[in-house]
Structure 1
Amino acid sequence: MSLYATLVLANILCLFDQSLAASTPNIVFVLADDYGYNDIGYHGSQIQTPTLDKLADSGVKLENYYVQPICTPTRSQLMSGRYQIHTGLQHGIIWPEQPNGLPLNSPTLADKMKEAGYSTHMVGKWHLGFYRKEYLPWNRGFDTYFGYLTGSEDYYKHTRGFKFTSKAYLDLHNEQGPVKNESGHYSAHLFTQKAIDVINNHNEKKPLFLYLAYQSVHGPLEVPQHYEDKYEHIQNKERRTYAGMVSAMDEGVRNVTEALKSKGLWSNTVFIFSTDNGGIPKVAGNNFPLRGHKGTLWDGGMHGVGFVAGGVLKPDRAGKVSKDLIHVSDWYPTLVGLAKGSFNGCLPLDGVDQWDTINSGMPSKRLILLHNIDPLHQRSGLPLYPNTWDTSVRAAIRSGSYKLITGDPGPGDWTPPPDSSDEQPKSNDVTSLDKSLYFQTETSSLKNVWLFNITADPTEHNDLSEERPEVVKAMLTLLSKINATAVPVRYPPFDPSSDPAQHGDVWGPWE
């Protein structure tokens, strides 16, 4: 090729890069961990979240938005666009000692964004398997990675205990290997700084995809003292520390968005904030007035905090509240669609593209939502209806306004925040509750079917299962049809070979 032809080609490629960056938005996805429905300011919380409130007010609040009840399932559906029953991750989480991971048979969201020409980066919690190198985030579509691979750890030491010995080992990595020089650096600050570094170093010839998965506010309860001091009015020590952790995260989000604006990226950015599941009252999180908590099939476990902001949204969408049904699996087709990417090579998706719903107020394309079917969970009671779904199996499904739960849903308390027993519900889309109902639970261990109209009864007080048996039967039939598409559960036994002591005292691949 002549020098002239080479220069012409270089100019064409440069113009193509500039055109790509201009025509496709930057996408920044921030995921909080174990963040309760009642722990954000705009839901009437006692915790201050000025950054999140301001961002949400500038964009679209998602008030009929669902995630999964626990960590790995939400992250797996975000990265795959597929229900747990289609990835084998129906039961529990991926434990560090398990040879398990999000299956390799379909591209991740990061794979598709990279394929569409994006610069792809992840900071924070992975929790989708690492027992073989193929499962590591930098081998699953991310150009760079900085974070931890397991499910929880110390916020300062960045260590996690090993189940067989309880000794703690380092879990902090980038794409080059273990990171051993950040002990004492609080993770919310550390991850925020790494995300800002990604933004500042971004080459604007490509659009940016940044996935920031904070450790905050998962246990253990740890935060620098000055954040906790803001909440001297909260008498409960655990709740006070938790509130400080939320404030540290809120500050981190502020610094990330300011970096995007300073870099000149905000006007062409879609910014998404989401929790991965509900809070845990025993670890000071709160979902009031919703019923239940993390790990349960009540809405407190999976009715997520979520909103969309950024300069790409239409101006008239500022301050809107969407009550359309949206699920975490929907982000995959929505974001790949925004990136003008291809779905070639993908297995069938369970998510649907929700951009028109978010940005134009069009009705949601989603009418049915499978929360989960877990055949390994302990059965509860006896099957109620012959020749249809076995109601002793743990499952939950949403169809329109109706939600059906079968099997054991987990504890069903309505728990107000500590030190706030007199606090009345302030969030939108909920009904006022009689205080006598706050701590009611099911009294019969044999009961294994519940039906709620979530639109009319978002706090799940009025069980309609006996009143509307025809709806119950129709939804049981629907469960059976969906379950027929399920793959076997992937939940291998713990492997002693995972012991970090055998691998340089660092959590990482062992096969």
Structure 2
Amino acid sequence: MNIVLCILVSVLTQSSASKPNILFILADDLGFGDVSWNNPEMITPNLERLAGQGVILDQYYTQPKCSPSRAALMTGLYPFRTGMQRGSIGPFRPTGLPTPFPTLPEILRNQGYSTHLVGKWHLGYCNENYLPTRRGFDSFFGEYAQQADHYTREHEVNRHIGTGYDLRRGENVSYENLGLYSTFLWEEETINILDKASTSDPWFLEVSLTAAHPPYQAPDKYIKMYERKNRRKKQKNNRSDQDNIRKAMITAIDDSVGRIIDKLKSTGLDENTLVVFSSDNGSGHSDANGSLRGKKGYVFEGGVRVPAFIQGTPLLHQMLVTPGYSSSALVHIVDWFPTLLRLSGEKLSNLETDGVDIWEPLTTGEISQREILVYNLDLDDQSKTFQFAVRKNNWKLIWGQTKEFKPHKKEKNELFLFNLARDPNETENLAESEPSIVQELKKIVKNLTKETRTAFHPNRFNLGFPKYHEGLLSPGWCGTGWWKILWNSESTSLGRFVQAL
């Protein structure tokens, strides 16, 4: 049977006519317990229905923060290889995804795909060369930076900085649908693209949602759904009010995704479209990550293990052992890079990637080739504080900082070892009782840190403040090429420091 399945994949990758369209939906700060198949308290019927028609990725991982995860998706490389491991690019930081690395949409264009990004970019905007329209996307409608108000598109109201408006069509400021809730704004644009999409030439469309990232805002009708639930449970306090709004944002996503898929079907494009749904990291609310330990920014499971599924295309359904099954294959967000490119016809031998082609493991139940997963590797070049977190099969090592990485000062370094097969919630530290496994995983860390590129995560520049740019978040106030300095003659002092640990 496996021979037949391999032939089906070969036909797909060799025939340009059968290249699948790719609809990649990326939610923001969606925790493991924020979907109804992991938590019956959540109202996500459309997402659950779609997941039930495809494959749920039960062991799916991202980076602990937004920008590193997005960099991993775009480049197929762990962020420690691209200098993006330090954390999110906050507004007015003069940095971005280094331009020497080819991106997923750039390579897809070489395979005849049109490429589109709707929603959040968050990989740098201070220089024009960082912009999504310069990194492989034919069209862009969305926000450059971390997070704006979901109705006004305004960033960070501050009398010293100025209010920064952030919405672009291409590289031009757009005031379209001002006041429309962000999730519905991205939905409307997505549906417009699908209306015009080619039925003969393949396309890649990333819908990068800005929910459920703060500020917590949602239309009243969704908030009332959860208020009713809370009233039945006799729960009412400020914390539950905020939680109601955050959950309402997710149900609004569910409604929106349902309408997008309905449009896909009405156009007939669903016949050759692969749908991928993912979050970029765990939720900042620990409760939203189910029973998993930690939250967004942490290298504990709650920060990095998130909901995901694939759905669509006749080929996927022909290959599935059974629709709606939950795959236990170990998957990282970098794995989409080789997987989607192989489906597009790109030869994997041409790619430099940390990703593993996961098509067969997800669709046929074959054993995945991935046995090692990197949660994060970061070593500060000013203080030598560090954060190393890796997994080999079911063993996970956290060495150094466990929470959101704090550079430039000495932090308490910790050592944890977990067996995730027996203890997925990371309650039992086995570091003292399993010293040989600790040493084995430390050896993996030390080998990988030889390939680590120094992170560039500067403080924000007042040159980028909106008050100096007519109240806008605008590029043109920083240079690129920082990597030529940091990586030109890689310092061996950090490497020696790691080897001595």
Matched, 1:409 2:402: yes
| Contact 2:60–2:307 under 8 Å retained in 1 | yes
Residue 189 of structure 1 aligns with an amino acid whose one-letter code is F
2:325 and 2:284 mapped to 1: Cα distance? 29
Where in structure 2 are the equivalents of 1:62-211 lying within 5 Å? 62-161=57-156, 165-211=160-206
CA distance in 1 between partners of 2:168 and 2:386 (Å): 39
2:9 counterpart residue number: none
Offset from partner CA, 1:47-69 (integer Å, 9 cap, x none): 11000100111111101110011
Q: Post-superposition shift, 1:22?
A: 3.0
Q: Give the match for residue 486 of structure 2.
A: none
Asked whether 1:330 is paired with 2:335, we answer yes
C-alpha displacement of 1:504:
2.9
Cα deviations by residue, 1:113-168 (Å, 9 ceiling, x for unpaired): 11110111110100001111111111111111100010111000011127782432
2-structure distance, mates of 1:164, 1:89: 30
Aligned to 2:407: none
Aligned partners of 1:497 and 1:510 also within 8 Å? no
In the alignment, is residue 396 of structure 1 matched against residue 389 of structure 2?
yes
CA contact (8 A) 1:156 1:186 kept: yes
Residue 435 (structure 2) aligns with? 469
Quote the Cα distance in structure 1 between the aligned partners of 2:347 and 2:210: 31
- CA distance in 2 between counterparts of 1:281 and 1:377 reads 31
CA separation of 1:487/1:402 partners in 2, compared to 1, >3 Å: closer, same or farther?
same
Label 1:163 to 1:398 Cα distance change in 2 as closer, same or farther (>3 A): farther
| Identical residues among aligned pairs (%) | 34
Q: How many residue pairs were aligned?
A: 446
Residue 242 of structure 2: aligned partner: 238
Q: Secondary structure at the match of 2:229?
A: coil
- Judged with a 3 Å threshold, the aligned counterparts in structure 2 of structure 1 residues 281 and 493 are, in CA distance, closer, same or farther, namely closer
* Residue of structure 1 aligned with 2:292, choices 290, 293, 301: 290
Counterpart contact for 2:57–2:327, Cα < 8 Å: yes
Letter in 2 for 1:405: I
SS of 2:274 mapped into structure 1? strand
Check whether the contact 1:66–1:303 (CA below 8 A) recurs between aligned residues.
yes
Q: What is the letter of the counterpart of residue 65 of structure 2? A: I
Give the alignment's TM-score, normalised by structure 1.
0.84
Cα gap change, 1:97/1:451 in structure 2, threshold over 3 Å: closer, same or farther? same
Distance 1:164 1:103, change over 3 A: farther
**Cα pair 1:21 1:205 within 8 Å, conserved:** no
Residue 435 (structure 2) pairs with residue 458 (structure 1): no
- Letter of the 2:298 counterpart: T
Q: Pick which of 313-322 and 393-402 moved more.
A: 313-322
The answer on 1:255 being equivalent to 2:251 is no
Per the alignment, residue 11 of structure 2 pairs with: none
Code of the residue aligned with 2:399 in structure 1: it is: T
Q: Indicate conservation of the 8 Å contact 1:126/1:147, yes or no.
A: yes
C-alpha separation in 2, matches of 1:342 and 1:163: 49
Residues in 1 aligned to 2:15 and 2:109: alpha-carbon distance in whole angstroms: 13
TM-score by length of 2: 0.85
**Counterpart amino acid of 1:295?**
G
Whether the aligned pair in 2 keeps the contact of 1:60 and 1:308 (CA below 8 Å) is yes
Distance verdict in 2 for CA 1:36–1:45, change over 3 Å: farther
Query: Higher helix fraction: Structure 1 or Structure 2?
Result: 2
One of 266, 275, 278 as aligned partner of 2:279: 275
| Corresponding letter in the other structure for 2:167 | L
Counterpart amino acid of 1:275? S
What amino acid is the match of 2:289?
Answer: N
Given residue 308 of structure 1, which amino acid in structure 2 is its aligned partner? Answer: I
Equivalent residue, structure 2, for 1:484? 450
Deviation at 1:94, TM superposition (A): 1.1
By how many angstroms is 1:344 displaced?
Answer: 8.1
Structure 1 position 349, deviation (Å): 1.1
Aligned-partner SS, 2:436: helix
Which residues of structure 2 form unaligned runs of 5+?
A: 1-13, 231-235, 405-410, 478-501
Task: Please tell me whether the aligned partners of residues 155 and 163 of structure 2 are also in contact (alpha carbons under 8 angstroms).
Answer: yes
Greater CA drift, 172-181 or 79-88: 172-181
**Aligned AA (2:316):** L
Give the superposition deviation at 1:403: 0.4
Report the AA paired with residue 305 of structure 2.
H
* Amino acid corresponding to residue 87 of structure 1 in structure 2: T
Match of 1:124, SS state, is strand
Partners of 2:476 and 2:360 in 1: CA distance: 44
Aligned to 2:10: none
The one-letter code of the counterpart of 2:229 is H
Shift of 1:44: 2.1
Quote the Cα distance in structure 2 between the aligned partners of 1:471 and 1:494. Answer: 41
**Secondary structure of 1:165's aligned partner:** coil
CA deviation after TM superposition for structure 1 residue 20, in Å: 6.1
Match of 1:299 among 282, 298, 301: 301
Q: CA deviation at 1:378?
A: 10
Question: The residue matched to 1:155 in structure 2 has which SS?
Answer: coil
Q: 1:482 to 1:44 in 2, by over 3 A?
A: same
Instruction: Report whether the alignment pairs 1:49 with 2:44.
Output: yes
CA distance in 1, matches of 2:58, 2:115: 29
Distance 2:299 2:316 in 1: 33
Shift of 1:410: 2.1
Report whether the alignment pairs 1:313 with 2:349. Answer: no
> What is the alpha-carbon distance in structure 2 between the residues aligned to residue 407 and residue 222 of structure 1?
36
SS at match of 1:246: helix
Change (3 A) 1:345 1:177: farther
C-alpha displacement at 1:276, in angstroms?
A: 0.6
What secondary structure, in the 3-state scheme, does the structure 1 residue paired with 2:388 have? strand
Match in the other structure for 2:224: 229
Native 8 Å contact 1:124 1:213 kept in 2: yes
Label 1:447 to 1:151 Cα distance change in 2 as closer, same or farther (>3 A): closer
- CA 1:377 to 1:263, structure 2 compared with 1: closer, same or farther past 3 Å? farther
| Contact 2:400-2:412 within 8 A present in 1 as well | no
Using the TM superposition, give the Cα deviation of residue 187 of structure 1 relative to its aligned residue in structure 2, in angstroms: 0.4
Question: What CA distance in whole angstroms lies between the structure 1 residues aligned with 2:472 and 2:243?
Answer: 32
Conservation of the 8 A alpha-carbon contact between 1:102 and 1:129: yes
